[in-house]
Structure 1
Amino acid sequence: MPVTDEAIDKIKGMIISGELAPGDRLPKEADLAQHLGLSRSSLREAVKALCLIRVLDVRQGDGTYVTSLEPKLLLDAMTFVVDFHRDDTVLDFLAVRRILEPAATAIAATTMSEEDIAELAKLLEGLEESPTVEALVANDLEFHRRIALGTGNPVLCSLIDSLSGPTTRARIWRGLTQEGAVAKTREQHRAIYDAIAAREPELARSWATVHISGVEQWLKKTLGDHEQS
């Protein structure tokens, strides 16, 4: 195992064991290197790597601290990678959304508060009768974000959030080119909302699957047609 990887594993071990807790300051570099049996250079490289993925935070003139380790913070690194996706991977992102979002929607149907369900209704009602595609997609992103928040699971919410970006362009493209896409999206959002409001998780799951699969199937067909032309 490379020495930097070994150093990373040892610092992770201190955090997992509870020796270092969220918000704790790391010991001085020389003391920590001696404690872990590492060279100061390998420890320095490990700290840099753990800062990149938001596990550690170096504060100039103050020291190095363990971050809050909140899911949203740690998943920022994944979002960074996701932002560099290629167009031909959008179907892969949609496939993952098709797994996660119906599950989140089913959970939200049992956990979402009445206040949050009322806010979801306002979001649907606040959309103009004939919205622009951009307005519809923005509404769509917010609709799914609120449902994910309604699960009460911050990890699931952060994962869904990070997967939304790569599919935004495909959703706009569909809205501009597929006849009836705007009306279909509105109808499906209403059906998802009705299922959540009725506290019917399996119905909510089914409608969320239909909703996401529609974009996925359209994109598969469109990309196939493009390759044949």
Structure 2
Amino acid sequence: MSRTDEVVDGIRRMILDGRLRPGDRLPVEKDLADTLQVSRGSLREGVRALSILGVVHTRQGDGTYVTSLDPARLLSPMALVLDLQDDGAMPAFHSVRRVLETEAAGLAATRMPDGAVAEARAILDQVTEVLHVAPVDHDRFIEIDIAFHRVIAAHTGNPVLEALIESFAARTVRARLWRTLHTEGIEERTHGEHEAIWRALAARDPAAARIRMASHLLGVEDSLPRRGSLDEES
């Protein structure tokens, strides 16, 4: 284990042991380096790594603090993982997204308040004007797509599930996904599937919501080029 890893592991143990809690300030550099038995340079590298992971954050001139440690913050680097994959890897990631969002739709169907259902309706209503302009504004369509799936995830009652889905909702990931979909009429088909999902949510029918979401995302998944086909094209 490297010295940097020792710092990361040491601070992690301090959090798990309750010696450091969300919002707490880390001990001064000299004291913390002595406690972890590492050099100040190694300590800085370890703290920098934890900052990237969302475990700590530094306030200029004030010190370094443990973050809230909420799932959304800690899982946000997942979006970077997706960004770094080539298009041939997208089907594998999308299949995970399908599993997550299918369950999210079922949970949201019984937990979305009327206001959230109305919000989802208003989001979908924006698609009509987008589809009536040629050529279709793909950037705007992606924004609406993200917003619709996001409002569902936000009402699952499960912050970990919501955070994982948010990772897959990154705009760059969605943009790459749409670039690979060459099916004619994909926007109209997607909108129709979103409408079916919304009707299931509005009816408070979790079984129907799961089926509609799974069907929608499976259709998208089937349209994605596989790694083999990409290699042939290149």
Aligned residues of 2:190 and 2:216 also touching (Cα < 8 A) = yes
Code of the aligned partner of 1:197? A
Superposed, which structure 2 residues align to 1:135-150 within 5 Å?
A: 135-150=140-155
State the TM-score, normalized to the length of structure 1: 0.88
Residues 1:194 and 2:177 are matched in the alignment:
no
Residues 1:217 and 2:222 are matched in the alignment:
yes
Offset at residue 221 of structure 1 (A): 7.1
1:65-103 deviation line (CA, Å, top 9, x unaligned): 111222222222222232222111111221111111101
- The residue that corresponds to 1:63 in the other structure is 63
CA RMSD after TM alignment: 2.3
Task: Report the more deviating stretch, 17-26 or 69-78.
Answer: 69-78
Could you say what secondary structure the match of 1:69 adopts?
coil
Q: In the superposition, relative to structure 1, how do residues 226 and 12 fare at CA in structure 2: closer, same or farther (>3 Å)?
A: closer
Code of the aligned partner of 1:171? W
Measure, in 2, the Cα distance between the counterparts of 1:76 and 1:49: 14
- The residue that corresponds to 2:8 in the other structure is 8
Measure, in 1, the Cα distance between the counterparts of 2:111 and 2:97: 20
- The residue that corresponds to 1:76 in the other structure is 76
1:49-73 deviation line (CA, Å, top 9, x unaligned): 1112121112232211111222222
Superposed, which structure 2 residues align to 1:6-155 within 5 Å?
A: 6-128=6-128, 130-131=131-132, 132=136, 134=138, 135-155=140-160
Could you say what secondary structure the match of 1:99 adopts?
helix
Residues 1:206 and 2:223 are matched in the alignment:
no
Measure, in 2, the Cα distance between the counterparts of 1:178 and 1:105: 25
Offset at residue 228 of structure 1 (A): 7.1
- The residue that corresponds to 2:178 in the other structure is 171
Task: Report the more deviating stretch, 37-46 or 63-72.
Answer: 37-46
Aligned residues of 1:98 and 1:209 also touching (Cα < 8 A) = yes
Measure, in 2, the Cα distance between the counterparts of 1:36 and 1:11: 8
Q: In the superposition, relative to structure 1, how do residues 28 and 222 fare at CA in structure 2: closer, same or farther (>3 Å)?
A: closer
- The residue that corresponds to 1:181 in the other structure is 186
Measure, in 2, the Cα distance between the counterparts of 1:151 and 1:32: 40
Could you say what secondary structure the match of 1:127 adopts?
helix
Offset at residue 198 of structure 1 (A): 1.1
Task: Report the more deviating stretch, 86-95 or 1-10.
Answer: 1-10
Could you say what secondary structure the match of 2:72 adopts?
helix
Aligned residues of 1:103 and 1:205 also touching (Cα < 8 A) = yes
Measure, in 2, the Cα distance between the counterparts of 1:69 and 1:171: 33
Offset at residue 173 of structure 1 (A): 4.4
1:14-73 deviation line (CA, Å, top 9, x unaligned): 112221111111111121222334343332221121112121112232211111222222
Measure, in 2, the Cα distance between the counterparts of 1:182 and 1:224: 23
Runs of 5+ consecutive residues of structure 1 not aligned to the other structure: none
Measure, in 2, the Cα distance between the counterparts of 1:76 and 1:127: 28
The number of residue pairs the alignment matches comes to 227
Q: In the superposition, relative to structure 1, how do residues 75 and 12 fare at CA in structure 2: closer, same or farther (>3 Å)?
A: same
Could you say what secondary structure the match of 1:120 adopts?
helix
Offset at residue 205 of structure 1 (A): 0.6
Offset at residue 137 of structure 1 (A): 2.8
Aligned residues of 1:101 and 1:160 also touching (Cα < 8 A) = yes
Could you say what secondary structure the match of 2:175 adopts?
helix
